[in-house]
A and B are shown apart, each in its own frame.
Chain A
Amino acid sequence: AQKVTQAQTEISVVEKEDVTLDCVYETRDTTYYLFWYKQPPSGELVFLIRRNSFDEQNEISGRYSWNFQKSTSSFNFTITASQVVDSAVYFCALSDDRGSTLGRLYFGRGTQLTVWP
């Protein structure tokens, strides 16, 4: 079965600090996809990144970076020099993109990030 664990329920940092959000996943599939979404107070889930299981290259996008390690089944997300606007709930998700479910997302419980000025 697919499972995503985000052990950090809440994280508080002060602006300009770096913060890492942890994500550990479980799957028996060899081909799968990992995602991060941001949910600001407005409620709409905003897509941040997708990573394929066969591509372990880390990615950097501005202040955001992602570290994918298959050996530890982790897909961690780091925000560098955090800003107040980064305050949101962040979700890690997994999909297998096979069979009839064709891409249903399995979400973790989310990490509430609060960045204080």
Chain B
Amino acid sequence: DTGVSQNPRHKITKRGQNVTFRCDPISEHNRLYWYRQTLGQGPEFLTYFQNEAQLEKSRLLSDRFSAERPKGSFSTLEIQRTEQGDSAMYLCASRGSGGANEQFFGPGTRLTVL
């Protein structure tokens, strides 16, 4: 499968715990995006990487959130001290550097904070 993959697909955690999600983009794509989607809403932008550089962060990304893309390939999104309001679907998307600018999304990680 050459699409975007995300792991885990589901995560249930207790409030206050730390969680980490992983995204593997399409291999030749140098641009990677994270979005968050809550029930009944469209996805909201969290952060953007071009290669290993994190170029943009939304104000939705509080200091409890951190994202990395250490070698310009896979990316991780960590949430520290989770809160119930963090419960959402976390989506990763990737995009190539050419003219076509559509983003291709992974299946998402659904986080439930109890």
Interface residues of A (CB under 8 A from B): 4, 33, 35, 37, 42-47, 50, 91, 93, 95, 97, 100-110
Distance between B9 CB and nearest chain A CB, rounded to angstroms: 9
Most buried by B among A37, A42, A93, A104: A104
Which of A35, A44, A91, A93 is in CB contact (< 8 Å) with B108? A44
Q: Is B105 an interface residue (CB 8 A)?
A: yes
Distance between A31 CB and nearest chain B CB, rounded to angstroms: 11
Query: Which among B20-28, B40-48, B62-70, B73-81 touches the partner chain?
Result: B40-48
22 A-B residue pairs with Cβ-Cβ distance under 8 Å, sorted by A, are A4-B42, A43-B108, A43-B110, A44-B106, A45-B43, A47-B104, A47-B105, A50-B100, A50-B101, A93-B42, A100-B55, A101-B48, A102-B55, A102-B56, A103-B33, A103-B103, A104-B48, A105-B33, A105-B43, A105-B45, A108-B42, A110-B41
